């Protein structure tokens, strides 16, 4: 099993031969490169912008679902493991508030010895850390259950699975703030609340507090408003809705708050009529981003299959790819760094013969959990759920060079 991205001599020579053949075939017909511009370029700017030739953008749902404020990261256009802040997916329940950081406050109260109100200046003065972590909406890929949770979302591209992103988050460990307030022993749960219009609330067990981050920075700068500016909670590896944005209040209690979002939503209805509650962890999942739905190959020859894998339980240890619909699997190379609860980039050299081919990926995390098939998930949990889908996704490369959802 290869745990990191290493190019062996045999692998490099084989890939190089296939690539060289493709280059030789088109060399004689290639146009002469354009000369550079003769005019002077633009001067320096106060805030950088991307090239006008780069057009990757978040996908906005159509029709009534747009009112629920979701936008999808263009995973098919990603490189490496970090998502640009401007392309990080959105999910909010009452729009994006505009908050003056000078007036924003975080209250920690309830079962604590010293209820405290923190300003942003107070929080920034405390010891901070930076961690690379993914955040994934529990409804990501929910349409794969077949229950119609996302009826207006096109399902045929990698971007339709783009309610997941990975950033470097900077802030204060929640444990530092709780230590200042003196969390009482009988406190078993924390209720976190946002400053948005719907006062988004979620209950979290105290044991997770040692891993949580009260974040004010993302990818080297302040949070974007869509990501909770000026302050949000980051709960590594757990479903996106508990990562409360525009964080304004944390209340310690001896039981879960049982608010709107954890009773009317974010539960998993099982085939026997019972409902799973507080199913926080996002299990191991992977997705091929190239070739993927909506793309078109240039023709038979050498390509690099690539994609992303992640797990809410730790580090990705293995990613396998099948090019024949799951009959045979090959280990891919895993690009370093591999971090717990962060994206891992995988790569596999592949020579396409021009015929139909079904591409799939499956990952294994450090706990030994193996990403299941869609059929295995349906057998276990039925079709009534809309959350926590992490089944294997297949793409079909057609003889006409197009790639579609399989």
Question: Which residue would you say has higher pLDDT here, 85 or 270?
Answer: 85
Whether residue 25 is contained in a domain is answered as: no
Which SS3 state, helix, strand or coil, does residue 197 take?
coil
Q: What pLDDT does 65 receive? A: 45
Whether residue 31 is contained in a domain is answered as: no
Query: How far apart (Å, rounded) are the C-alpha atoms in residues 15 and 5?
Result: 15
pLDDT digits (tens, 9 = 90+) for 310-348: 999 999 999 999 999 999 999 999 999 999 999 999 999
Domain range for residue 79?
Answer: 63-276
Cβ–Cβ under 8 Å, residues 321 and 348: yes
Whether residue 6 is contained in a domain is answered as: no
Whether residue 379 is contained in a domain is answered as: yes
Task: Single out the residue in 226, 254, 276 at which a domain terminates.
Answer: 276
250 and 353 in a single domain? The answer is: no
Task: Please count the structural domains in the chain.
Answer: 2
321 and 263 in a single domain? The answer is: no
Number of helical H runs and strand E runs in the chain: 4, 23
pLDDT digits (tens, 9 = 90+) for 176-231: 999 999 999 999 999 999 999 999 999 999 999 999 999 999 999 999 999 999 99
Measure the CA dihedral 380/383/388/394, to 10°.
Answer: 90
Query: How far apart (Å, rounded) are the C-alpha atoms in residues 311 and 244?
Result: 20
Say which CATH number the domain at 390 has: 2.60.40.650
Say which CATH number the domain at 171 has: 3.90.420.10
E-state strands within 195-343:
201-205, 213-218, 221-222, 232-234, 247-253, 268-269, 275-276, 285-290, 301-310, 316-322, 330-331, 333-334
264 and 314 in a single domain? The answer is: no
Q: What pLDDT does 37 receive? A: 65
pLDDT digits (tens, 9 = 90+) for 240-269: 999 999 999 999 999 999 999 998 889 888
366 and 259 in a single domain? The answer is: no
Whether residue 261 is contained in a domain is answered as: yes
Whether residue 217 is contained in a domain is answered as: yes
Task: Single out the residue in 276, 294, 316 at which a domain terminates.
Answer: 276
Whether residue 38 is contained in a domain is answered as: no
What 8-state DSSP symbol labels residue 59?
Answer: B
Which residues have C-beta within 8 Å of that of residue 71, sequence separation ≥ 6?
Answer: 58, 59, 60, 89, 90
> What percent of the chain clears pLDDT 90, i.e. is strictly above it?
77
Task: Single out the residue in 276, 300, 335 at which a domain terminates.
Answer: 276
Whether residue 293 is contained in a domain is answered as: yes
Q: What pLDDT does 269 receive? A: 87
328 and 362 in a single domain? The answer is: yes
Q: Cα–Cα–Cα angle for 139, 150, 197, nearest 5°?
A: 65
240 and 357 in a single domain? The answer is: no
């Amino acid at each position: 099993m290869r745990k990191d991205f290493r190019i062996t001599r045999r692998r490099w020579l084989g890939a190089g031969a296939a690539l060289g053949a493709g280059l030789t075939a088109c060399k004689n017909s290639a146009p002469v490169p354009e000369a550079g511009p003769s005019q002077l370029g633009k001067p320096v700017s106060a805030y950088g912008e991307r090239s006008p030739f780069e057009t990757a953008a978040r996908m906005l749902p159509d029709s009534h679902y747009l009112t629920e404020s979701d936008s999808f990261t263009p995973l098919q256009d990603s490189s490496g493991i970090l998502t640009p802040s401007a392309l990080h997916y959105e999910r909010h329940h009452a729009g994006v508030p505009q908050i003056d950081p000078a007036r924003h406050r975080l209250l920690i109260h309830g079962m604590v010895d010293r209820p405290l109100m923190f300003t942003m200046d107070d929080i920034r003065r405390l010891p901070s850390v930076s961690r690379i972590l993914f955040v994934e909406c529990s409804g990501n890929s929910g349409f794969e259950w077949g229950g119609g949770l996302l009826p207006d979302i096109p399902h045929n591209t990698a971007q339709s699975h783009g309610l997941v992103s990975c950033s470097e988050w900077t802030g204060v460990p929640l444990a530092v703030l709780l230590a200042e307030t003196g969390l009482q022993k009988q406190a078993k749960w924390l209720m976190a609340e946002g400053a948005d219009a719907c006062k988004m609330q979620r209950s979290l067990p105290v044991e997770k507090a040692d891993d949580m981050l009260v974040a004010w920075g993302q990818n080297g700068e302040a949070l974007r408003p869509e990501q909770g500016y000026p302050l949000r909670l980051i709960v590594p590896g757990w479903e996106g809705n508990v990562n409360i944005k525009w964080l304004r209040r944390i209340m310690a209690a001896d039981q879960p708050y049982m608010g709107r979002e954890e009773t009317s939503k974010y539960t998993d209805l099982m085939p026997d009529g019972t409902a799973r509650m507080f199913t926080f962890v996002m299990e191991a999942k992977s997705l091929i981003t190239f070739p993927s739905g909506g793309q078109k190959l240039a023709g038979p020859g050498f390509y690099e299959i690539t994609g992303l894998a992640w797990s809410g339980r730790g580090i990705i240890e293995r990613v396998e790819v099948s090019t024949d619909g799951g009959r045979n699997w090959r280990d891919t190379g895993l690009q370093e760094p591999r971090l717990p609860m962060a994206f891992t980039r995988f790569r596999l050299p592949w020579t396409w013969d021009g015929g139909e081919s079904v591409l799939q990926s499956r990952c294994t995390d450090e706990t030994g959990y193996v990403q299941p098939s869609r059929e295995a998930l349906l057998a276990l949990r039925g079709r009534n759920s809309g959350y926590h889908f992490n089944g294997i996704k297949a793409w079909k490369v057609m003889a006409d060079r197009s790639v579609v959802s399989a």
